[in-house]
Amino acid sequence: MLRSTYVLLTVVVLVLLFRYWQPMPAVVWSVDAPLWSGLLTGLYFAGIGLVLLSTFLINHFELFGLLHGWMGFKNQEPPKPRFVTPSLYKYIRHPLYLGWIIAFWATPYMTAGHLLFAAVWTIYIFVAVGYEERDMIALFGDKYRDYMAKVPVILPFGRRK
């Protein structure tokens, strides 16, 4: 129930943000060269693809809180969570977040408003990682701690914890 409430509140905040957003059109950067512009646009779509792939590699319906809501509607207990590390999760702990970060920043045309949005949501992601990892340790204990020691957080290289 907590995950579905979190997802719902995040969506509400995003809807309000989109509804009341005021444009900040000052250009921070503009990439006009077709090759570089195309590469940045391709990188954006790769980020979105990574988000979608990541949600389906783990339980898509549990991730968004739909499984718990559906099981509650049917007056059934949801299945116990299982710790799995399919495919990309063997190389980075949070490929979903990496996909969002790529999508936020990979643009050939960055305005001040887009920059603010990207910066705030990138910070939000790193804060969320801390809470999510704390919850995963509480749920899976040493199994998740071992995973943290072996697999980097966002990028497939660098610090592990």
Q: What is the pTM of this model?
A: 0.84
For residue 159, being part of any structural domain is answered with no
The pLDDT of residue 120 is 92
pLDDT above 70 as % of the chain: 93
**How many domains does one find in the chain?**
1
* Residue 68 near residue 1 (C-beta atoms within 8 A): yes
Q: In the numeric block, which tokens belong to residue 44?
A: 């954006």
**Is the model's pLDDT at 154 over the cut of 80?**
yes
Residue 65 lies in a domain: yes
Residue 126, amino acid: F
Q: Is 113 a member of any domain?
A: yes
| Mean of the per-residue pLDDT values of the chain | 89
pLDDT tens digits, 94-135: 999 999 999 999 999 999 999 999 999 999 999 989 988 998
Q: Supply the range of the domain harboring residue 90.
A: 2-150
What is residue 82's predicted lDDT score, i.e. its pLDDT?
A: 83
The residue among 32, 16, 42 whose CA lies nearest residue 110 is 32
Continuous H helices in the chain = 2-20, 34-57, 60-63, 66-73, 95-105, 112-140, 142-150
pLDDT above 70: residue 161: no
Inside any domain, residue 161: no
43, part of any domain = yes
Residue 156 within a domain: no
Please state the φ and ψ torsions of residue 155, each to the nearest 5 degrees.
-100, 150
Number of Cβ within a 10 Å radius of residue 147: 19
Q: Is residue 33 in a domain? A: yes
Q: 160 in a domain, yes or no?
A: no
